[in-house]
Amino acid sequence: MKPRHDIRNHIRRHRLAVDGLTQQELADRVGVTRQTILSIEKGKYAPTIGLALQLARVFGVSVEELFQLEEGGDDV
């Protein structure tokens, strides 16, 4: 068994769609540092379910619209 968890995210696109929200402003809204938002956008860090739900709430979308398993990733 070799599960893969490559996650693609659309945070940046949604962030820019909301009046060009900066990373710092988004970070302030969900109570994390700008470094955390930067790392999530770059795909270096997969957020916890709690933070993913908070981000989805800020953008008014579902978590699935923000985060998707990359093609080639196995279903687990």
Site residues (CB under 8 A) for other proteins?
A: 6-10, 12-13, 16, 31-33, 35-36, 39-45, 47-48, 51, 70
Using the minimum distance from each CB to other proteins, give the nearer residue, 31 or 60. Answer: 31
Q: Please, what is the minimum distance in Å from the beta carbon of residue 33 to other proteins? A: 5
Query: What whole-number distance in Å separates Cα of residue 62 and Cα of residue 44?
Result: 21
Helix 23-30 to helix 34-41 angle (10° resolution) is 110
CB of 15 to other proteins, least distance (A): 10
Q: Cα–Cα distance between 67 and 52 in angstroms, integer?
A: 8
